[in-house]
């Protein structure tokens, strides 16, 4: 199991495509869980954000806006969105999405991975969902 942050960053970068294939079309909570099986628990969420950022810049994932931005009275999101393939995609810079996610994660979880806390974070109203982009550019996501 990898344990040094600089080694982990290199490892994650070198394994990003394999991890993507392994997790393709999974719910977002599966990413930190999977990482917890291959790296030191204290680096799971650092690695999670690294992977999300890389995959987003490589157009392998898209982010859906967090539900906390949905206004039930207006029946729309109060954050920038764009429509792509019928999906409402969060239309803010990737670095801002990652910053937002880092800001919202419980500090304790960022320090040491815990599956129950991780699920609480990943399924909360402030965590964006992700859509996986296939090689042919189709966004795939199971909302059920």
Domain with residue 76: its CATH number is 1.10.3510
Residue 30's pLDDT is: 93
- State whether residue 90 is helix, strand or coil: strand
Residue 130's domain spans which residues?
19-140
| pLDDT(11) > 90 | yes
Q: What are phi and psi of 92, to 5 degrees?
A: -125, 160
| pLDDT(2) > 60 | no
pTM for this prediction: 0.91
Residue 144's pLDDT is: 52
Calpha distance 101→114 (Å, rounded)? 17
Query: Does some domain include residue 28?
Result: yes
Query: Does some domain include residue 47?
Result: yes
How many distinct structural domains can be found in the chain?
Answer: 1
- Rg value, the chain, Cα: 15
What Å distances lie between residue 30 and 1, 6, 27, 41, 83, CA to CA?
18, 23, 6, 14, 26
pLDDT 10s digits, 57-108: 999 999 999 999 999 999 999 999 999 999 999 999 999 999 999 999 888 8
């Amino acid at each position: 199991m990898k344990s040094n942050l600089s080694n982990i960053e290199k490892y994650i970068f070198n394994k990003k495509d394999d991890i993507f294939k392994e997790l393709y079309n999974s719910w977002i909570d599966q990413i930190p869980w999977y990482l917890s099986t291959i790296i030191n628990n204290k680096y799971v969420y650092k690695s999670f954000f690294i992977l999300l950022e890389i995959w987003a810049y490589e157009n392998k994932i898209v982010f859906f806006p967090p539900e906390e931005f949905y206004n039930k009275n207006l029946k729309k999101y109060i954050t920038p969105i764009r429509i792509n393939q019928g999906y409402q995609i969060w239309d803010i810079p990737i670095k801002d999405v990652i910053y937002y996610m880092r800001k919202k994660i419980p500090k304790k979880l960022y320090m040491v991975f815990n599956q129950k806390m991780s699920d609480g974070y990943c399924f909360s109203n402030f965590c964006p969902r992700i859509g996986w982009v296939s090689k042919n550019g189709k966004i795939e996501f199971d909302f059920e």
